[in-house]
Structure 1
Amino acid sequence: MKIRFQLLNHCLDNQRFTIGVVSLFLGMTTVALADYQPPSEPSYPEEPTIISGTRGGCSKNGKAKLTTLAPQKHIGKTVSTHPTFAWFVPDAEALPMKFQLYPDDVNQNSQPIQNIELQTTPGIMTHSLSEDELGLSVGQRYLWQVVIICEPNHPSSAIIAQAYIDVVQESPDLKIALAAATNPVDRADIYADRGFWYDGFGEVVVGCGDDARHRELMLNLLTDLAKIEASGNSKSASQKSERIQQILEIELKKPVCN
């Protein structure tokens, strides 16, 4: 499935990124949580996975943009056949949205295997594949995207963000480690340390949990992701890093949930 979008004409200032990340760390409580470690042998997308459009969301207000909360420099992995997908919505106004999931193949006319109608809510949104429906296939790669319908009568005005996901087999040692975990934060720690972005972030992106580390780990993982994207040489990766920084700034201003 080959979907091409026009690259954004904007580069990240590396010095500004470094200052921003340091500031974020200074504003966060220090806790003993694992960092996200990219896979030792990462796979890379054949095409940039970025947003369409040039600024903001449908309202064109604010600096944050529609953004998939997943790696772009490399392809994020999962051991779940029913993973959780997350993205950030900049617009306060409720708008029609679609979540679409495609098989990654050479057929440019591929139809989505999921095409879910949603309504936007500002901030981080998620969608999990239901356990009641057919899951993803182990050993396969998929392209997922979210589409905000800005003006139903003008499809070209839609804002689109996308990312890839690789579904891999769960190893015996991972299964043993997870069996000993007693809460979502512990499971997220295990996943993140072993390079499974979707599973680690999926454990902590929904709700607050009873553990004070829950929100902290979510913010730490986003900070890790921003740093990883900033280390890339492409404009699209740098732009993704900048967008995640902006999302972190927004999330850090929100009150801690109880």
Structure 2
Amino acid sequence: MKRRFQLLNHCLDNHRLTIGVFSLFLGMTTVALADYKPPSEPSHPEQPTIISGTRGGCSKNGQANLTTLAPQEHIGKTVSTHPTFAWFVPDAEALPMKFQLYQDDVNEHPQPIQNIELQTTPGIMTHSLSEDELGLSVGQRYLWQVVIMCEPNHPSSAIIAQAYIDIVQKSPDLKIALAAATNPVDRADIYADKGFWYNAFGEVVGSADDARHRELKLNLLTDLAKIEASGNSHYASQKSERIKQILEIERKARL
């Protein structure tokens, strides 16, 4: 009988050890996702970016607004000359849309770069500059906007959202950090930590829809909502509320 108890205790000890090792392994493989940190010396738009349209989009039945998924309180940066732009569409029905890109001008006369006609799809939409096209210039600032034509025969019915983007040089430190990254989430973490919003969000918004990508995408939007809420302008506060509405919709969609 004593021998039987010894064998039972030995088996239980081995089972506990296995569980402990497995738990330790899980703890080691769970990596905290980085927060988005704005640039240490952020640039600010000289004038507020346009936020138009009523809640619900063209149909006025939605729970959110047409919103650019990019900073407004400060100007978002990228080290890519072919960046990815993202925005949220509230309307369920397909509507004509335009993506427009302008090079910022000191004389306040933005120069048109792109004017692409699209069709809306509900939720988060993206547009990336093709690698076959001439890229954006390092050191330049651009204005981009999305326009939904609610009633094509009545231009005044259009709703518009826009944001700025700065194209900057990739530093040696950033190159070294990225060389060690093996997947989009790792790269997004690095970009977010170093203040490159467009790169960070672009890495996950169009990637495979798995748990880590979704988590980081929502984390980045949560960070952006907090940053906008901390701004002093009414426009930043309004942008924060819009992003919070989008977060609520995105989370419900995953239930």
The interval holding the TM-score normalised by the smaller chain is 0.7 to 0.9
Asked if 2 retains the 8 angstrom alpha-carbon contact of 1:66 and 1:161, the reply is yes
Partners of 1:46 and 1:156 lie apart in 2 by 25
Bigger helix share? 2
What residue is the counterpart of 1:244 in the other structure? 243
Q: Does 1:113 align with 2:113?
A: yes
Q: Which has the higher contact order (CA 8 A, sep 6+)?
A: 1
Shift of the alpha carbon at 1:214?
1.1
Secondary structure of the residue that 1:112 maps to in structure 2? strand
AA paired with 2:230? S
* Structure 2, unpaired ranges of 5+: 1-29
Partners of 2:111 and 2:200 lie apart in 1 by 29
Runs of 4+ in structure 1 over 3 Å off: 106-111
Partners of 1:110 and 1:196 lie apart in 2 by 23
Shift of the alpha carbon at 1:61?
1.4
Partners of 1:41 and 1:150 lie apart in 2 by 39
Shift of the alpha carbon at 1:111?
4.2
1:194-213 equivalent positions in 2, closer than 5 A: 194-208=194-208, 212-213=211-212
What residue is the counterpart of 2:101 in the other structure? 101
Q: Deviations over 1:78-129 (max 9, x none)?
A: 0000000000000001000000000100445544210111000000000000
Identical amino acids, percent of aligned pairs: 88
What residue is the counterpart of 1:61 in the other structure? 61
Asked if 1 retains the 8 angstrom alpha-carbon contact of 2:87 and 2:126, the reply is yes
Asked if 2 retains the 8 angstrom alpha-carbon contact of 1:50 and 1:240, the reply is no
Secondary structure of the residue that 2:62 maps to in structure 1? coil
Shift of the alpha carbon at 1:255?
2.6
CA shift in 2, pair 1:137/1:118, >3 Å: same
Q: Does 1:224 align with 2:187?
A: no
Partners of 2:252 and 2:170 lie apart in 1 by 37
C-alpha RMSD of the superposition: 1.5
Asked if 2 retains the 8 angstrom alpha-carbon contact of 1:143 and 1:162, the reply is yes
Q: Does 1:157 align with 2:157?
A: yes
Q: Does 1:37 align with 2:37?
A: yes
Partners of 1:250 and 1:236 lie apart in 2 by 21
Q: Deviations over 1:191-211 (max 9, x none)?
A: 0000000000000011335x6
Q: Deviations over 1:132-189 (max 9, x none)?
A: 0000000000000000011011001000000000000000110011011000000000
What residue is the counterpart of 2:192 in the other structure? 192
Partners of 1:62 and 1:185 lie apart in 2 by 31
Q: Does 1:182 align with 2:194?
A: no
Partners of 2:110 and 2:68 lie apart in 1 by 21
Paired residue total:
226
* Structure 1, unpaired ranges of 5+: 1-29
Asked if 2 retains the 8 angstrom alpha-carbon contact of 1:68 and 1:88, the reply is yes
Partners of 1:237 and 1:142 lie apart in 2 by 19
Shift of the alpha carbon at 1:49?
1.5
What residue is the counterpart of 1:122 in the other structure? 122
What residue is the counterpart of 1:234 in the other structure? 233
